[in-house]
Amino acid sequence: MSYPEIIILIITGMAIGSFTNNLMNLFTGRGFDWKRSSCSCGERSLRYTELFPVVTYLVFRGRCTECKRKIPIRYLVVEVIFPVLFLLLYDPGHFLISVYLIVLSWLFVIISVVDLEKFIIPDSILLSGFIIELVFRFSEGKAFTDNLGMAIIVFLAFIAIKYIVIKLKRVDPLGWGDIKFFLLLVYIFGIVNFLTGLWVASILGLLLKRVTQRENLIPFGFFLGSVFLIFLIGQYNFEKILLKWLTIQ
């Protein structure tokens, strides 16, 4: 990979991160800005000098220049994550696979952040995940039915678990968004990887609950999305990533 490619990927990643922050506002209640982005307080449109991802946040110390309110740290985190993902997952020799991995990682980031903030996993994002997976399988000549039967079994099993726990304990253990996310994850990764990721995400969620002593809901979709984002990078093969960076020209 050449240095110009790295610069282009970083700039593109930051731009996608900025757009993603705006898109996630649609799910978190603030609304999508169809024109120029606005201040987080919603009082005015941003000036052109305030539209540079990451840089603007750092220069103005994470505050709106007009009202001085603090801008949520997630804006910076998301704008940093995407350049990193682009650099890790883009492979000019395997363009289609790169696009597939980047788009899936984009969906997982949205799921993680939205669930962390609002305890919801949007159906439109899950549906987009299924469409991306189907398009990729079609382009690669893979069978649409791979993992589908097991995904449906897992989906129905967790619905049964949900109702049994509600009946016996009067507690809802899982949201519908989580269960539908399970369906997508089994379809993409297979049952073994799903169970491994589910176990890791469950441990992380329980640790958070223990450390924070929270009695309310745990954003399980956040942990699932984060764990399987790492799985997604791992599927690409860490050795390939290392070799790509060792051959920078």
Among the ranges given (42-56, 181-195, 223-237), the one the predictor scored with the smallest mean pLDDT: 42-56
Given 80, 106, 128, the domain boundary residue is 80
Residue 85 forms part of a structural domain: no
Given 56, 80, 104, the domain boundary residue is 80
Are residues 70 and 96 both part of a single domain? no
Residue 211 forms part of a structural domain: yes
Q: Are 2 and 249 in contact (CB under 8 A)?
A: yes
Are residues 39 and 102 both part of a single domain? no
Residue 1 forms part of a structural domain: yes
Which neighbouring-strand residues pair with 70?
63
Given 80, 103, 134, the domain boundary residue is 80
Average pLDDT over residues 84-112: 90
Residue 163 forms part of a structural domain: yes
| Structure confidence at residue 135 as a pLDDT band (50, 70, 90) | very high
Are residues 36 and 129 both part of a single domain? no
Tell me the whole-structure pTM to 2 decimals.
0.86
| Structure confidence at residue 129 as a pLDDT band (50, 70, 90) | very high
Residue 86 forms part of a structural domain: no
Range of the domain at 243: 91-249
Are residues 180 and 75 both part of a single domain? no
Are residues 16 and 111 both part of a single domain? no
Residue 71 forms part of a structural domain: yes
Model confidence at 23: pLDDT above 80: yes
> What phi-psi label fits residue 176: left (phi over 0), alpha (psi between -120 and 50 degrees) or beta?
alpha
Are residues 172 and 213 both part of a single domain? yes
pLDDT in the model for residue 221 = 92
pLDDT in the model for residue 51 = 64
Are residues 100 and 21 both part of a single domain? no
Residue 227 forms part of a structural domain: yes
Model confidence at 106: pLDDT above 60: yes
Q: Are 116 and 222 in contact (CB under 8 A)?
A: yes
Are residues 20 and 140 both part of a single domain? no
Are residues 26 and 110 both part of a single domain? no
Are residues 73 and 123 both part of a single domain? no
Please count the structural domains in the chain.
2
Residue 192 forms part of a structural domain: yes
Model confidence at 85: pLDDT above 70: yes
Are residues 68 and 126 both part of a single domain? no
pLDDT in the model for residue 42 = 56
Are residues 241 and 177 both part of a single domain? yes
> What phi-psi label fits residue 27: left (phi over 0), alpha (psi between -120 and 50 degrees) or beta?
alpha
